[in-house]
């Protein structure tokens, strides 16, 4: 259980934390190679290998998360393809209950995501959870990915916060480790970001299996 009385600001990642990561895994690992194969006249196997190589070249950088970059690199209409599978955008269990409770306790509730603004807007409109957050910030506005050095310090320019009284929930261990290096005190990982895949191995951060398990009391 997080020490809620010692926390003023609660930051949430989006994909794999508040939302099921299955949408993104299915999109990038299956649908994009399929469309690349059709668009460029290559086999699906060759498309998968090509796309996989392109992904590996920018993994962990802002380009990895950038729709504009991938549209140019792969010559595909990425937003249009995403719109074709919006039925796979799903909010994880008990997310809305937790957000409502945190707001009732006067916590500052923030969405801090590496997702491109186009993806952020699509998912907020589809899920209807946008109004739970005091701010929704894409890392693209700071020109740094969350796992990059200096991101969490730069975030202060958009959202001043006290790292010692801040909690971050994120499914990306590299993000959590960078946040730890930059002084954020309360850090939680996610046990099963993709509902269609097995739970991830435990690391140095406590894992949340279900947000109901960490629900603060309103008393």
Token code pair at residue 39: 């668009």
Domains of the chain, residue spans = 4-21+91-214, 23-87
> Which superfamily does CATH assign the domain made up of 4-21+91-214 to?
HAD superfamily/HAD-like (3.40.50.1000)
Residues 176-198: what's their mean pLDDT?
98
Torsion of CA 202, 211, 87, 26, to 10 degrees: -10
pLDDT digits (tens, 9 = 90+) for 30-87: 999 999 999 999 999 999 999 999 999 998 899 999 999 999 999 999 999 999 999 9
What's the pLDDT band for 218 if we cut at 50, 70, 90? Answer: low
Does this model's pTM top 0.75? My answer is yes
Token code pair at residue 160: 């001043």
CA distance 96 to 100: 6
127-153 b/e (C-beta count within 10 Å ≥ 16 → b) = bebeebbeebbbbbebebbbbbeebbe
CA distance 149 to 153: 9
């Amino acid at each position: 259980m997080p020490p809620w009385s010692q926390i003023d600001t609660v930051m949430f990642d989006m994909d794999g934390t508040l939302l099921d990561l299955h949408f993104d895994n299915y999109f990038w690992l299956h649908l994009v190679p399929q469309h690349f194969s059709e668009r460029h006249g290559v086999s699906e196997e060759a498309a998968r290998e090509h796309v996989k190589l392109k992904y590996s070249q920018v993994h962990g950088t802002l380009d990895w998360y950038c729709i504009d970059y991938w549209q140019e690199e792969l010559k595909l209409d990425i937003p249009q393809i995403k719109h074709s599978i919006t039925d796979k955008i799903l909010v994880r269990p008990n997310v809305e209950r937790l957000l409502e409770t945190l707001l009732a306790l006067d916590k500052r509730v923030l969405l801090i995501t590496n997702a491109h603004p186009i993806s952020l807007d699509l998912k907020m409109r589809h899920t209807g959870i946008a109004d739970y957050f005091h701010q929704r910030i894409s890392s693209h506005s700071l020109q740094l990915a969350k796992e990059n050095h200096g991101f969490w310090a730069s975030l202060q320019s958009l959202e001043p916060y006290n790292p010692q009284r801040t909690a971050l929930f994120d499914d990306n261990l590299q993000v959590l480790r960078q946040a730890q290096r930059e002084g954020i005190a309360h850090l939680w990982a996610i046990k099963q970001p993709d509902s269609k895949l097995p739970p991830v191995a435990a690391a140095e951060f406590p894992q949340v299996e279900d947000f109901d398990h960490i629900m603060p009391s309103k008393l």
